[in-house]
Amino acid sequence: MEIERDTLIAAARDAAAKAYAPYSHFHVGAALGFADGTVVTGANVENASYGLTLCAETAAAARAMNDGQRGGLIAVAVAGGKDGIAANPVTPCGRCRQVLSELAHLGGTDPVVLCVGASETFEYSLSELLPGAFGPASLS
């Protein structure tokens, strides 16, 4: 990974502090690392209409796309919990896996996904988390 693992994890932890999560009190931060060295972060944004909540990874992906990123996604870190970082690493929800997959597909990458817990970090590839993904090619 070209971006330092610890740098990306720290960015995800910092992002979690900016979460708007007054309902679940579960603050999640995500940091997306790109091949050009760019790091784009996001945090969950909850809503009084609970189902409209945006997850951290989706917020970060939308931000990256709006910044003009179209691929080059090489690493993702996710960190969160109720009181700081949870003991059990947070893994991206199903919708977020699909959203991240779209961005990854654009650049033909299979990013490392670092799921950060208080005492351990799980490391997956996105294709491991979302095998047989539906992607742009599925539409042709």
Q: Which of 10, 62, 65, 93 binds ligand THU (CB under 6 A)?
A: 93
123 catalytic per annotation:
no
Using rule CB under 6 A, residue 28 touches ligand THU: yes
Q: Is 114 in the site for ligand THU (CB under 6 A)?
A: no
The only residue of 77, 79, 96, 129 in contact with ligand THU, by rule CB under 6 A = 96
Closest CA to 109 of 121, 124, 127: 127
The binder of ligand THU chosen from 11, 39, 55, 115 (CB under 6 A):
55
Q: Is residue 103 part of the contact set for ligand THU (CB under 6 A)?
A: no
53 lies in the site for ligand THU, by CB under 6 A: yes
Are the CB atoms for 40 and 49 separated by under 8 Å? Answer: no
Among candidate residues 2, 57, 102, 123, the one labeled active-site is 57
Minimal distance in Å, beta carbon 30 to ligand THU?
Answer: 7
- Residue 79 CB contacts under 8 Å (≥ 6 apart), including other chains: 9, 12, 13, 15, 16, 28, 29, 30, 85, 90, 116
How far apart CA 60 and CA 41 sit, in angstroms, is 5
CB burial of residue 53 (10 Å; 0-12, 13-18, 19+):
middle
**CB of 102 or CB of 137, closer to ligand THU:** 102
As annotated, the active-site residues are 57
Residues that bind ligand THU (CB under 6 A): 21, 24, 26, 28, 44, 46, 53, 55-57, 92-93, 96
